[in-house]
């Protein structure tokens, strides 16, 4: 499923959706990442962990093309992101969903509009937007709260709205930066369960966390970064009982985002 040192073996595997080759990232004088190499294949569920400031978010930023490597190469869905024409970045970003610790919802718009916004800006037809938003909100169990404003929802519900927004454009990759950071353990488990369901439906999920408990319980493949360096890359397939994580009620609807092709 993954190679510990892909750079040593030449071209990246065909199945890989993300590849890092000897990547350095330097902000001003500060080195955020140093010589990081790894690949992620289709359908993987990857957990990136490490202490605060270790470089977890920097890895996600590079995948999101929100930053570009100072040295080395980053490949996203077969495209060399580090040397990509910057005008092409928005289109490639449409294949990536984002979820954040602080949810980042638009406070003055209701749940429906928050999710619909992601479709609107990429030019989906109005009637299709309604169908897609209805689908993902049903899947995250929030269709009945579609007219609520974010402040009228609990933290877990807000994160589910954020996940619905991330998945409404049917991305191939879902990046989640500390998605459980602001949630209590029970809600955190619920969100991880939702991420598992998304992954089960075929979306590659990469999430960062500094919570050891979450890593121990849910980490199937765990990359540890410390001081900007990748210190371990461990696959623990079979170590996690997904069904125990995904509670029964969460199976009632299909996983978000993978039922229809929604890109215009």
Residues that bind another protein (CB under 8 A): 57, 60-61, 64-67, 86, 89-94, 98, 100, 104, 106-107, 117-118, 120-126, 129, 165, 169, 177, 264
Please, what is the minimum distance in Å from the beta carbon of residue 36 to another protein? 17
Identity of the residue, 129 or 255, whose beta carbon is nearer to another protein in the bound complex? 129
Sign of CA dihedral 181, 21, 223, 39: positive
Burial of 103 from C-beta contacts in 10 A (0-12 / 13-18 / 19+):
buried
The whole-angstrom distance between residue 137's C-alpha and the CA centroid of its chain comes to 18
Alpha helices (H) in 46-122, listed in sequence order: 56-63, 89-93, 111-120
Please, what is the minimum distance in Å from the beta carbon of residue 17 to another protein? 17
Can you read off the two tokens belonging to residue 225?
């970064």
Please, what is the minimum distance in Å from the beta carbon of residue 29 to another protein? 19
Backbone phi and psi for residue 232, each to the nearest 5 degrees, phi listed first:
-160, 155
Identity of the residue, 90 or 213, whose beta carbon is nearer to another protein in the bound complex? 90
Please, what is the minimum distance in Å from the beta carbon of residue 121 to another protein? 4
Residue pair 132/210 in contact by the 8 Å Cβ criterion: no
DSSP state of 12: P
Identity of the residue, 38 or 98, whose beta carbon is nearer to another protein in the bound complex? 98
Identity of the residue, 12 or 100, whose beta carbon is nearer to another protein in the bound complex? 100
Identity of the residue, 115 or 255, whose beta carbon is nearer to another protein in the bound complex? 115
Can you read off the two tokens belonging to residue 226?
């410390």
Please, what is the minimum distance in Å from the beta carbon of residue 243 to another protein? 32
Identity of the residue, 132 or 245, whose beta carbon is nearer to another protein in the bound complex? 132
Identity of the residue, 85 or 238, whose beta carbon is nearer to another protein in the bound complex? 85
Which helix (H) or strand (E) segment holds residue 190: the answer is helix 185-200
Please, what is the minimum distance in Å from the beta carbon of residue 13 to another protein? 26
Reduce the DSSP state of residue 100 to 3 states and report it: strand
Please, what is the minimum distance in Å from the beta carbon of residue 155 to another protein? 18
Residue pair 192/214 in contact by the 8 Å Cβ criterion: yes
Burial of 52 from C-beta contacts in 10 A (0-12 / 13-18 / 19+):
exposed
């Amino acid at each position: 499923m993954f190679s510990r040192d892909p750079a040593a073996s030449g071209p990246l595997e065909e199945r890989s959706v993300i590849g890092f080759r000897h990547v350095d990232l330097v902000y001003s004088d500060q080195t955020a990442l140093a010589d990081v190499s790894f690949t992620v294949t289709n359908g993987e569920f990857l957990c990136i962990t490490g202490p605060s400031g270790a470089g977890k978010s920097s890895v996600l930023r590079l995948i999101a093309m929100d930053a570009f490597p100072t040295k080395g190469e980053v490949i996203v869905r077969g495209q060399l992101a580090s040397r990509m024409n910057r005008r092409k970045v928005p289109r490639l970003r449409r294949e990536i969903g984002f979820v954040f610790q602080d949810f980042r919802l638009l406070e003055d718009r209701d749940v429906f509009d928050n999710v619909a916004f992601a479709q609107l800006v990429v030019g989906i037809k109005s009637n299709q937007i309604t169908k897609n938003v209805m689908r993902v909100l049903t899947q995250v169990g929030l269709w009945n709260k579609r007219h609520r404003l974010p402040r009228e929802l609990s933290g877990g519900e807000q994160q589910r709205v954020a996940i619905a927004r991330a998945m409404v454009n049917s991305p191939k990759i879902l990046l989640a930066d500390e998605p459980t950071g602001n949630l209590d353990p029970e809600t955190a488990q619920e969100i991880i369960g939702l991420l598992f369901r998304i992954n089960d439906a075929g979306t590659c999920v990469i999430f960062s966390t500094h919570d050891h408990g979450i890593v121990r319980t849910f980490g199937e493949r765990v990359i540890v970064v410390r001081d900007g360096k990748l210190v371990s890359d461990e696959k623990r397939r079979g170590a996690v009982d997904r069904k125990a994580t995904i509670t029964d009620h969460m199976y009632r609807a299909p996983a978000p985002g993978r039922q229809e092709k929604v890109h215009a």
